[in-house]
């Protein structure tokens, strides 16, 4: 299936010849044989609307198996005909660049396309039809400019082989008992052996021609193509995935570009990941992940999503799951644990604005690591999970970046940053860039490494730590050591983390999938609070990533310096990245700074950095005053609206005891699911 001029007939013949099966061309072998006249003559005789109806009825009578069928360009405009076709086979969409098709059709002087008789231009006809190809596809074959017929045929065969197979996931620790489906991975979150799920075959790779096709696409279009490559169409159909993506990245983002890239100065660029509803990069994953979760849910029980947050994840999870509707919302609850003293006041107020029965945030008199460790312990205690399932009909899951469905959407924005630089002429495809990422739980950095594995020409992923420099120390020395190491509060609380969960995926990645090594290392970390990787592995780690750290004074100085030089206000996390990038990056390639949050979420630190006196106590007034100071980026309206509508009430504060957190889980289940029964 594809538009006129996509090469369906030539590709169909090549595929059929390779498979040794018959080929049917609908135009030549079915329509003209049935009508006893050329297709162009039929169109001229009856007009466009009647042509579509008669063409559709002919296709409805087609009975074929064990062959390749090349549809006409207008077949997908007839619903009944396409439903008939899909019952009998796999619909492969040849997604060819519009300009390529227009050049081909101009050379061919085609005059038998429905719509031409009414005076519409070829461009308008093709743009109108795209929605129908998207509606009916089972598998997309993205065709690069200059692809040969043989090359496209090979892609078709590979796509159909993938469609007829299965894609499964394994634990980084290799003890979960075989392979797991995408749906189970999304719903379970954490593997039963305590490891993290990864695709058995790794992430897919795109060729240069496919990447170039993405350059001129919008963010949702790029996301759809990349996620179709990563999610098997029998796990989530292409049409359903498209619906989710368009809902995730629509009017809920304040920028039409979703994750725009802006020039900062010299070779440095900022990717603004804070235009979502809660003003942090977590929205890029958490506007989509809850839809995937609801899609994969079995109908037999309720699910409680447990989340530990160092600030931004909490409000993003509450927003994302809060947007679910109907039955999905009724059987899904969300409970967020956050450190009482470890998040900014605005982050806390954002979380407190969600007070519905199925969504709640609770603070803990401890740090993020305690919250995350407690949640992992709950997942690992079969007595607890069994009790909740039997007694309350409720299963636990997670939306932290340990969940593959949380991590997966993040590789899209790293890919999109590079594609934006290509579109704007900063690089041509194939020229390298570096990416510097504020790093705490390592999920953002890991998604950049997956984007690199898929074919994005990222030279170095630079991990930037604040004075809690556990990741920097590990990448520098190969030793991960938590012994006697206190967590220190900082101006960049989202990366105030000592136990970096996604580091497990990274070690699995660089070790070539050595699950035994991963299991031994992280078992040692759990029991002895430290491990050391072998020297050869450390060498491979340092080939993949660089790392540095930034003091509190240097962080504030960077905010002040960059604002003086450019008028741009960095949030403290992006400032940490900017400091580390200045130290480690050699300036020979463009550098993308992942700007993970809007500066308004950390107003007191920004006031201090910019030397603005008389900081207002009220968060709304803080944002207003900052907005009058900063020329760019602008005020975040959704965050302002959320704070203006906030409740004045207090919130639950727990002692740092595991049993107390378990009680909160049971209370949440009771309030969310049992009261309504």
Mean pLDDT calculated for residue range 285-293 = 96
Give the residue carrying structure tokens 């799920």: 197
Determine the pLDDT at residue 116: 82
Q: Any bridge partners for residue 597, and if so which?
A: 280
Determine the pLDDT at residue 649: 59
Q: What is the pLDDT of residues 580-625, one digit of tens each?
A: 999 999 999 999 999 999 999 999 999 999 999 888 888 888 888 8
Q: Binning pLDDT at 50, 70 and 90, where does residue 648 land? A: low
Q: Binning pLDDT at 50, 70 and 90, where does residue 137 land? A: very high
Q: What is the pLDDT of residues 546-558, one digit of tens each?
A: 999 999 999 999 9
Determine the pLDDT at residue 647: 58
Q: What is the pLDDT of residues 569-578, one digit of tens each?
A: 999 999 999 9
Q: Binning pLDDT at 50, 70 and 90, where does residue 538 land? A: very high
Q: What is the pLDDT of residues 13-65, one digit of tens each?
A: 999 999 999 999 999 999 999 999 999 999 999 999 999 999 999 999 999 99
What percent of the chain shows pLDDT beyond 90? 82
Mean pLDDT calculated for residue range 195-209 = 96
Mean pLDDT calculated for residue range 411-434 = 98
Of 117 and 406, the structure prediction assigns the larger pLDDT to: 406
* Burial call 44-80: b when 16+ CB within 10 Å, e when fewer: eebebeebbebbbebbeebeeeeebbbbbbbbbbbee
Q: Binning pLDDT at 50, 70 and 90, where does residue 222 land? A: very high
- The DSSP secondary-structure symbol of 180 reads B
8 A C-beta contact, residue 407 and residue 189:
no
Q: Binning pLDDT at 50, 70 and 90, where does residue 177 land? A: low
Determine the pLDDT at residue 353: 82
Q: Can you say how many angstroms the Cα of residue 612 is from the centroid of all Cα atoms in its chain?
A: 37
Of 241 and 107, the structure prediction assigns the larger pLDDT to: 241
Find, among 444, 428, 426, the residue nearest to 436 by Cα.
Answer: 444
Q: What is the mean pLDDT of the chain?
A: 93
Q: In whole angstroms, how large is the CA radius of gyration of the chain?
A: 27
Q: What are phi and psi of 479, to 5 degrees?
A: -105, 130
- Distance, in Å, from the CA atom of 672 to the CA atom of 357, rounded to the nearest integer, reads 5
Determine the pLDDT at residue 227: 98
8 A C-beta contact, residue 308 and residue 297:
no
Mean pLDDT calculated for residue range 396-415 = 95
Determine the pLDDT at residue 677: 45
- Distance, in Å, from the CA atom of 350 to the CA atom of 107, rounded to the nearest integer, reads 58
- Distance, in Å, from the CA atom of 512 to the CA atom of 506, rounded to the nearest integer, reads 10
- Distance, in Å, from the CA atom of 97 to the CA atom of 102, rounded to the nearest integer, reads 9
Determine the pLDDT at residue 65: 93
Q: Binning pLDDT at 50, 70 and 90, where does residue 626 land? A: confident
What percent of the chain shows pLDDT beyond 70? 97
8 A C-beta contact, residue 73 and residue 2:
yes
Which residues lie below 8 Å from residue 92, measured CB to CB, with a gap of 6+?
1, 137, 138, 139, 140, 141, 156, 159, 160
8 A C-beta contact, residue 162 and residue 89:
no
Q: What is the 3-state secondary structure of 233-291?
A: CCCCCHHHHHHHHHHHCCCCCCCCCCCCEEEEECCEEEEECCCCCCCECHHHHHCCHHH
Q: What angle do CA 595, 494, 255 make, to 5 degrees?
A: 35
Q: Binning pLDDT at 50, 70 and 90, where does residue 330 land? A: confident
Q: Where are the alpha helices (DSSP H) in 455-598?
A: 470-477, 503-510, 515-528, 535-544, 552-566, 572-584
Q: What is the pLDDT of residues 455-510, one digit of tens each?
A: 999 999 999 999 999 999 999 999 999 999 999 999 999 999 999 999 999 999 99
Find, among 403, 543, 402, 541, the residue nearest to 480 by Cα.
Answer: 541
Which residues lie below 8 Å from residue 91, measured CB to CB, with a gap of 6+?
1, 82, 85, 136, 137, 138, 139
- Distance, in Å, from the CA atom of 274 to the CA atom of 259, rounded to the nearest integer, reads 8
CA dist list (Å): 364 to 307, 310, 381: 13, 11, 21
Determine the pLDDT at residue 90: 96
Taking 80 as the threshold, does the pLDDT of residue 631 lie above it? no
Least trusted range by pLDDT, from 29-43, 129-143, 151-165, 647-661: 647-661
Q: Where are the alpha helices (DSSP H) in 430-514?
A: 443-454, 470-477, 503-510
């Amino acid at each position: 299936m594809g538009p006129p001029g996509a090469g369906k007939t030539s590709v169909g013949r090549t595929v059929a010849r390779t498979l040794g099966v018959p080929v049917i061309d609908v135009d030549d072998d079915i329509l003209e044989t049935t009508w006893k006249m050329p297709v162009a003559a039929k169109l001229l005789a009856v007009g466009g609307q009647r042509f579509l109806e008669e063409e559709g009825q002919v296709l409805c009578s087609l009975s074929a198996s064990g062959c390749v069928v090349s549809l006409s360009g207008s077949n997908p405009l007839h619903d009944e005909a396409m439903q008939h076709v899909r019952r009998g086979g796999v619909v492969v969409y040849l997604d060819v660049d519009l300009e390529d098709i227009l050049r081909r059709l101009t050379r061919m002087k085609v005059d038998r396309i429905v719509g031409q008789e009414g005076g519409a231009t070829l461009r308008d006809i093709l743009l109108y039809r795209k929605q129908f190809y998207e509606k009916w596809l089972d598998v997309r074959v993205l065709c690069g400019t200059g692809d040969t017929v043989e090359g496209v045929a090979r892609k078709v065969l590979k796509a159909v082989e993938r469609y007829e197979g299965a894609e499964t996931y394994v634990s980084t620790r290799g003890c979960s008992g075989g392979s797991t489906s995408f749906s189970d991975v999304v719903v379970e979150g954490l593997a039963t052996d305590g490891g993290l799920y990864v695709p058995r075959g790794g992430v897919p790779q795109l060729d240069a021609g496919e990447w170039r096709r993405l350059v001129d696409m919008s963010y949702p279009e790029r996301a759809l193509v990349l996620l179709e490559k990563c999610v098997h169409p029998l796990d989530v159909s292409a049409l359903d995935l498209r619906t989710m993506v368009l809902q995730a990245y629509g009017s809920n983002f304040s920028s039409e570009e979703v994750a725009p890239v802006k020039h900062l100065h010299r070779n440095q660029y900022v990717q603004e990941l804070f235009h979502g509803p809660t003003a942090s990069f977590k929205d890029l994953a958490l506007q989509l992940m809850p839809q995937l979760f609801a899609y994969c849910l079995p109908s037999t029980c309720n699910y409680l999503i447990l989340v530990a947050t160092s600030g931004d994840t909490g409000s993003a999870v509450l927003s994302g799951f809060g947007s679910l509707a109907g039955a999905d919302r009724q059987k899904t609850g969300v409970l967020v644990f956050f450190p009482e003293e470890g998040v900014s006041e605005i982050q806390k107020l954002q979380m407190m604005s969600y007070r519905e029965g199925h969504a709640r945030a609770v603070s803990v008199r401890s740090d993020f690591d305690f919250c995350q460790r407690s949640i992992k312990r709950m997942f690992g205690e079969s007595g607890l999970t069994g009790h909740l399932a039997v007694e309350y009909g409720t299963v636990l899951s997670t939306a932290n970046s340990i969940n593959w469905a949380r991590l997966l959407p993040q590789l899209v924005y790293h890919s999109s940053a590079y594609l934006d630089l290509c579109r704007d002429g900063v690089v041509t495809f194939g020229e390298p860039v570096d990416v510097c990422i504020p790093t705490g739980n390592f999920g953002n950095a890991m998604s950049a490494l997956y984007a690199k594995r898929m074919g994005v020409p990222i030279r170095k992923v630079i991990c930037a730590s604040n004075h809690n420099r556990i990741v920097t120390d590990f990448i520098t020395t190969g030793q991960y050591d938590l012994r006697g190491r206190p967590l220190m509060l900082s101006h960049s609380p989202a990366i105030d983390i000592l136990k970096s969960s996604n580091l497990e995926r990274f070690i699995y990645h660089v070790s070539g999938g050595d699950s035994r090594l991963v299991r031994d290392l992280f078992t040692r970390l759990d029991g002895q609070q430290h491990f050391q990787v072998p020297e050869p592995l450390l060498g491979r780690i340092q080939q993949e990533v660089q790392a540095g750290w930034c003091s509190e004074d240097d962080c504030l100085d960077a905010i002040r310096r960059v604002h003086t030089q450019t008028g741009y206000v960095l949030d403290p996390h992006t400032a940490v990245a900017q400091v580390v990038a200045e130290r480690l990056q050699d300036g020979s390639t463009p550098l993308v700074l992942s700007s993970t949050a809007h500066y308004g979420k950390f107003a007191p630190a920004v006031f201090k950095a910019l030397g603005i006196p008389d900081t207002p106590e009220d968060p709304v007034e803080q944002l207003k005053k900052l907005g009058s100071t900063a020329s760019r980026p602008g005020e975040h309206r959704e965050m302002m609206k959320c704070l203006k509508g906030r409740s004045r009430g207090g919130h639950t504060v727990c002692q740092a005891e595991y049993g107390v957190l378990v009680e909160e889980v049971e209370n949440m289940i009771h309030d969310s699911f049992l009261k309504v029964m």
